[in-house]
């Protein structure tokens, strides 16, 4: 079998000597190079590991130093979480609700799964908030904030009753969630269909139980119309933009005819670009009367699709930076 | 000419050009200095019908009478513009926004078993991150002898392998647990894609770092804002888990985890962490949010199954389907896709009468383990209503279940792992509807 040079050397010299030899022999090899069979990469230092090793386990392993109470958490929650999850954890605009749902897991109704009704470990609450929330600014919370938010959500779910109970490295794992005993291992395969080929069932007993709303024809027609207008795939937009510009816009915008801002003239475009592309698109598509003159709708080329005009605008802006 | 007159005449010109840019007008137009590309645009805008007519013999089609575009017109090519309807789509009501959301693979328009990278379904939990390969690193640590940090260059020096596997979200078809709901194949089965994945076997990297005897589980974590994390048993990691940097012959698409992701063949797509930055070896699972709050299966008795990794045997007919209705009576090539997270597909049977009689279909693609497999068979349709189903059997002998069997075992609250035999109802007018039958 093919052997890497490293391995050949490893067989001849002890690892320590090998490292030394590599360091001396090749200037670019750093002391912390990986020491495995291939030796690629660098040894991860404890400081590096600590920075990324954010995970927390049910037994509390991985929890950082710090502490917090539900009392503290209420304020942080109101400021950083309530806009999506609701002041009472009820969830707004379709964002997840974080409380309630006790007793909904079995029976006929819809299950409502929350920290209180469904999750199995407190550590998961801490870990998830710390790694992913708040949604728009993940990894922005201090450990104390995460402890207090965890405490607050446990309080809101009636898991802890004392608003001043201090959650920290030692206490967090002692708080248990009610649904913990109800998780079981995978039991599949749990179905046993057989391969029947003929007379497999009574045709008379076949009944349609449910049917998707067949509004598809309309939808497809609408999409076909839409895609017919935007035939150019996005990757070619730059190319499209230039060709549309060359044939439909250069007329005025190449020379500054009729008062049109000249493409390539940064000063003439600066102010317009600053207003934002939405306005530029609108003006280019619908036309408008400005101080410098009249920009006809689509430059007069009504056969251009909106997307083609937009592509031309993008191209013009890009050429005038 | 004064300025105003100049403008007026110009406006007149362009107005004319926009309206009737065909025939003799085109000749005038060209003389006036406008390029012929304008004509092409106008023709396209006029719709496809005239082009089609003109292309029929004895006529010579227009594109046979002109020069085409030069090389490098598109240095990185895209599909024909006439295929622009083949797109990922989303179902808006599924998620409150498009940042933590999902889009679906357009299965009805795809051929063979390889999903083009650009239309493979997307699933993000914190949006699509912009990861620079020069900045990105993968750290492997925990219960190992030699914790390491690998740059992308480092990673790509290891021996590589290429494997064809599907990646499927376990929620694929999940909207159908309580009844037929999605009115297209794209939405009923489109949280799946199959690709050739190239990368390093995770076992190679684990040997490099030296797993300590206590090591039993691996935590995989992403670098995006969700820092998506899943616990994976060491057994799987040493078996076939891949640390992937390329898909279908090129570097991963950003949507698929560029520059590096995990692929756990045959397992819940969610475990195939994208934008992978960290692998930690431990002695217990971590029970993170995506393996407790989500991706656990609630049973009717109120208990929940955890770590239900395997994507069981499943199949669906892709032609006909709601997006591809029957065109006219006669012989029809019916085809579809089958897959199993437990290995290769062994047989696929198709029924046209709602499961009374079945005929075995042929495999029309290669059959790889834990990959999409294409099947097909001929059907003589005489305009009668029909109920088309497909039933896959994998190499373990497992037979895809009926809805009845699946619900008897798991109730209706599972969300994930819905792999029941699917029914398309073909109406006499050729339209195709998603139904569930008794």
**Which of B10, B351, B438 has its CB closest to that of A205?**
B438
In A59-88, the residues whose Cβ lies within 8 Å of chain B are 59
Q: Which fold has domain A67-182?
A: Cytochrome Bc1 Complex; Chain D, domain 2 (1.10.760)
Residue B290 shares a structural domain with residue B393: no
Residue B378 shares a structural domain with residue B249: no
DSSP B323: T
Residue A21 pLDDT greater than 90, yes or no: no
Contact A320/B at CB under 8 A: no
Residue B144 belongs to a domain with what CATH number? 3.90.420.10
Over residues B305-313, the mean pLDDT reads: 98
The residue ranking higher by pLDDT, B284 or B57, is: B284
Say how far apart CA A8 and CA A16 lie, in whole Å: 15
Parallel, antiparallel, or unpaired: how do β-strands B373-381 and B359-360 relate?
unpaired
Q: Do B208 and A120 touch (CB under 8 A)?
A: no
DSSP B401: P
User: How close is the nearest chain A Cα to the Cα of B196, in Å?
Assistant: 23
Q: What is the pLDDT of residue B414?
A: 87
**Which of A183, A243, A298 has its CB closest to that of B306?**
A183
Residue B230 shares a structural domain with residue B330: no
Considering the domain boundaries, does residue B205 fall inside one?
yes
Residue B323 shares a structural domain with residue B402: yes
Say how far apart CA A222 and CA B426 lie, in whole Å: 23
Say how far apart CA B252 and CA B247 lie, in whole Å: 5
Q: Do B305 and A299 touch (CB under 8 A)?
A: no
The count of domains in chain B is 3
The residue ranking higher by pLDDT, A69 or A29, is: A69
Q: What is the pLDDT of residues A154-168, one digit of tens each?
A: 999 999 999 999 999
Q: What is the pLDDT of residues B138-154, one digit of tens each?
A: 999 999 999 999 999 99
Residue B318 shares a structural domain with residue B299: no
| Residue given tokens 């200037």 in the structure block | A27
DSSP string, A77-125: HHHHTHHHH-TTS--STTPPP-S--TT-SSSSS-----TTTT--BHHHH
Contact A53/B at CB under 8 A: yes
Residue B250 shares a structural domain with residue B319: no
**Which of A52, A216, A231 has its CB closest to that of B139?**
A52
Q: Would you say A57 and B286 are in contact if contact means Cβ atoms under 8 Å apart?
A: yes
Contact B148/A at CB under 8 A: yes
**Which of B76, B181, B438 has its CB closest to that of A207?**
B438
A224 is written with which tokens?
Answer: 């076909």
Q: Do A303 and B323 touch (CB under 8 A)?
A: no
Residue A133 pLDDT greater than 70, yes or no: yes
Instruction: Find the radius of gyration of the CA atoms of chain B.
Output: 26
Q: Would you say A319 and A265 are in contact if contact means Cβ atoms under 8 Å apart?
A: no
Contact A180/B at CB under 8 A: no
Q: What is the pLDDT of residue B28?
A: 38
In A251-290, the residues whose Cβ lies within 8 Å of chain B are 251-252, 257-258
State which of B286, B305, B324 marks the end of a domain. Answer: B305
* Residues of chain A contacting residue B117, judged by C-beta atoms under 8 Å apart: none
What are the residue boundaries of the structural domains of chain A, listed by start? 1-44, 67-182, 216-318
**Which of B6, B349, B406 has its CB closest to that of A191?**
B406
Residue B171 shares a structural domain with residue B290: yes
Residue B22 pLDDT greater than 70, yes or no: no
Residues in a beta bridge with B201: B242
Residue B263 shares a structural domain with residue B360: no
Residues in a beta bridge with B350: B359, B390
**Which residue of chain A is at minimal alpha-carbon distance from B14?**
A300
Residue B396 belongs to a domain with what CATH number? 2.60.40.650
Residue B211 pLDDT greater than 70, yes or no: yes
| Residue given tokens 């709901």 in the structure block | B181
Contact A174/B at CB under 8 A: no
Band of the pLDDT at A218, cuts 50, 70, 90? low
Residue B172 shares a structural domain with residue B265: yes
Q: Do A44 and B434 touch (CB under 8 A)?
A: no
User: How close is the nearest chain A Cα to the Cα of B296, in Å?
Assistant: 9
* CA angle A143–B125–A50, rounded 5-degree value: 35
Contact A10/B at CB under 8 A: no
Considering the domain boundaries, does residue B89 fall inside one?
no
User: How close is the nearest chain A Cα to the Cα of B57, in Å?
Assistant: 26
Q: What is the pLDDT of residue B62?
A: 87
Q: What is the pLDDT of residue A188?
A: 97
Contact B431/A at CB under 8 A: yes
Q: What is the pLDDT of residues A159-194, one digit of tens each?
A: 999 999 999 999 999 999 999 999 999 999 999 999
Q: What is the pLDDT of residue A252?
A: 83
| Domain range for B140 | 98-305
Contact B404/A at CB under 8 A: no
In B68-127, the residues whose Cβ lies within 8 Å of chain A are 73-74, 76, 78-79, 81-82, 84-85, 87, 95-96, 99-100, 125-126
**Contact residues for A158 (Cβ-Cβ < 8 A; gap 6+):** A116
Residue B258 shares a structural domain with residue B169: yes
What percent of chain B shows pLDDT beyond 90?
82
Q: What is the pLDDT of residues B237-266, one digit of tens each?
A: 999 999 999 999 999 999 999 999 999 999
Q: What is the pLDDT of residues A257-304, one digit of tens each?
A: 888 999 999 999 999 998 888 999 999 999 999 888 889 999 888 878
Contact A182/B at CB under 8 A: yes
**Which of B226, B289, B298 has its CB closest to that of A105?**
B298
Please state the φ and ψ torsions of residue B43, each to the nearest 5 degrees: -60, -45
Q: Do B358 and A138 touch (CB under 8 A)?
A: no
Q: What is the pLDDT of residues B112-168, one digit of tens each?
A: 999 999 999 999 999 999 999 999 999 999 999 999 999 999 999 999 999 999 999
* Residues of chain A contacting residue B45, judged by C-beta atoms under 8 Å apart: 303, 305
Say how far apart CA B130 and CA B257 lie, in whole Å: 10
DSSP A247: I
- Of B48, B50, B119, residue with least CA distance to B86: B119
Q: How many CB pairs under 8 A join A and B?
A: 332
**Angle between helix A122-132 and helix A143-156 axes, rounded to 10 deg:** 130
In the CATH scheme, what is the code of domain A216-318?
A: 1.10.760.10
User: How close is the nearest chain B Cα to the Cα of A8, in Å?
Assistant: 16
Residue B182 shares a structural domain with residue B156: yes
Residue B108 shares a structural domain with residue B230: yes
Q: Do A44 and B141 touch (CB under 8 A)?
A: yes
Considering the domain boundaries, does residue B112 fall inside one?
yes
Parallel, antiparallel, or unpaired: how do β-strands B217-222 and B359-360 relate?
unpaired
Q: Note the ipTM here.
A: 0.86
User: How close is the nearest chain A Cα to the Cα of B80, in Å?
Assistant: 8
Q: What is the pLDDT of residue B9?
A: 53
Question: The whole model's pTM is what?
Answer: 0.76
Considering the domain boundaries, does residue B85 fall inside one?
no
Contact A47/B at CB under 8 A: no
Cα-based distances in Å from B379 to A132, A281, B383: 51, 51, 12
Residue B32 pLDDT greater than 80, yes or no: no
* Residues of chain A contacting residue B188, judged by C-beta atoms under 8 Å apart: 212
State which of B270, B305, B340 marks the end of a domain. Answer: B305
Considering the domain boundaries, does residue B55 fall inside one?
yes
Contact B35/A at CB under 8 A: yes
Band of the pLDDT at B2, cuts 50, 70, 90? very low
Q: Would you say B378 and B333 are in contact if contact means Cβ atoms under 8 Å apart?
A: yes
Of the residues B233, B293, B397, B412, the best mutation for testing chain A's interface (the one with the most A CB atoms within 10 Å of its CB) is: B293
Say how far apart CA A254 and CA A265 lie, in whole Å: 10
Q: Do B356 and A201 touch (CB under 8 A)?
A: yes
């Amino acid at each position: 079998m093919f052997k890497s040079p490293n391995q050949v050397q490893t067989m001849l010299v002890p690892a320590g000597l090998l490292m030394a030899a590599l360091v001396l022999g090749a200037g670019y090899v750093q002391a912390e190079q990986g020491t495995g069979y291939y030796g690629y990469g660098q040894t991860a230092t404890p400081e590096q590991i600590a920075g990324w090793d954010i995970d927390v386990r049910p037994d509390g392993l991985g929890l950082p130093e710090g502490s917090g109470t539900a009392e503290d958490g209420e304020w942080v929650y109101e400021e950083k979480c309530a806009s999506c999850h609701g002041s009472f954890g009820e969830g707004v605009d379709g964002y997840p609700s974080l409380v309630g749902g006790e007793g909904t897991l079995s029976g006929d109704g819809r299950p409502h799964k929350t920290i209180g009704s469904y999750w199995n470990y407190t550590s998961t609450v801490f870990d998830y908030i710390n790694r992913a929330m708040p949604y728009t600014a993940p990894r922005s919370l201090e450990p104390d904030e995460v402890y207090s938010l965890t405490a607050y959500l446990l309080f809101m779910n009636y898991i802890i009753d004392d608003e001043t109970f201090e959650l920290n490295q030692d206490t967090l794992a002692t708080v248990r969630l009610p649904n913990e005993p109800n998780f079981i291992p995978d039991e599949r395969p749990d179905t046993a269909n057989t391969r029947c080929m003929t007379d497999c069932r009574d045709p008379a007993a076949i009944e349609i139980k449910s049917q998707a709303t067949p509004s598809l024809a309309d939808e497809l027609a609408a999409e076909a119309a839409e895609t017919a207008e935007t035939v150019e795939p996005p990757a070619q937009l730059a190319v499209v933009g230039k060709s549309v510009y060359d044939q439909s816009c250069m007329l005025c915008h190449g020379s500054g005819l009729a008062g049109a801002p000249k493409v390539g003239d940064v000063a003439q475009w600066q102010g317009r670009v600053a207003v934002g592309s939405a306005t530029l698109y609108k003006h280019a598509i619908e036309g408008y009367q400005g101080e410098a003159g009249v920009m006809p709708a689509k430059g007069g080329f009504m056969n251009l699709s909106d997307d083609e005009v937009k592509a031309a605008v993008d191209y013009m802006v890009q050429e005038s930076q | 000419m004064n300025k105003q007159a100049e403008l007026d005449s110009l406006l007149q010109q362009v107005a004319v050009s926009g309206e009737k840019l065909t025939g003799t007008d085109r000749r005038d137009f060209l003389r006036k200095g406008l390029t012929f590309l304008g004509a092409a645009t106008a023709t396209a805008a006029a719709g496809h019908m005239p082009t089609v007519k003109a292309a029929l013999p004895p006529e010579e089609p227009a594109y046979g009478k002109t020069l085409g575009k030069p090389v490098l017109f598109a240095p990185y090519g895209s599909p024909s513009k006439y295929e622009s309807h083949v797109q990922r789509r989303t179902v808006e009501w599924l998620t409150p926004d498009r940042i933590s959301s999902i889009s679906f693979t357009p299965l009805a328009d795809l051929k063979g078993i390889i999903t083009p990278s650009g239309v493979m379904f997307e699933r993000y939990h914190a949006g699509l991150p912009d990861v620079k390969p020069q900045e990105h690193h993968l750290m492997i640590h925990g219960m190992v002898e030699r914790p390491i940090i690998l740059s992308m260059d480092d990673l790509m020096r290891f021996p590589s392998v290429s494997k064809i596997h599907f990646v499927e979200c376990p929620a694929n078809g999940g909207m159908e647990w309580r009844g037929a709901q999605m009115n297209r194949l794209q939405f009923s089965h489109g949280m799946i894609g199959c690709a050739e994945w190239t990368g390093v076997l995770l076992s190679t990297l684990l040997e490099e770092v030296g797993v300590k005897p206590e090591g039993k589980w691996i935590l995989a974590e992403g670098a995006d804002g969700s820092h998506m994390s899943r616990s994976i048993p060491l057994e799987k990691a040493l078996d076939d888990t891949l640390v992937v940097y390329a898909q279908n012959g090129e570097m991963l698409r950003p949507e698929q985890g560029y520059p590096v992701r995990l692929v756990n063949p045959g397992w819940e797509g969610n475990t195939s962490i994208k934008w992978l930055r960290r692998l930690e070896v431990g002695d217990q699972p971590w029970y993170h949010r995506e393996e407790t709050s989500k991706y656990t299966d609630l049973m009717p008795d109120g208990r929940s199954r955890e770590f239900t990794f395997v994507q069981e045997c499943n199949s669906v007919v892709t032609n006909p389907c709601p997006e591809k209705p029957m065109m006219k009576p006669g012989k029809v090539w019916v085809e579809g896709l089958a897959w199993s997270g437990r290995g290769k597909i062994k047989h696929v049977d198709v029924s046209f009468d709602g499961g009374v009689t079945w005929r075995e279909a042929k495999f029309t693609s290669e059959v790889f383990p834990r990959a999409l497999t294409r099947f097909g068979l001929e059907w003589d349709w005489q305009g009668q209503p029909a109920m088309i189903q497909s039933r896959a059997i994998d190499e373990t002998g497992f037979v895809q279940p009926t809805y009845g069997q699946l619900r008897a075992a798991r109730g209706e609250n599972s969300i994930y792992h819905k792999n029941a035999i699917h029914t398309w109802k073909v109406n006499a007018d050729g339209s195709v509807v998603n139904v569930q039958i008794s």
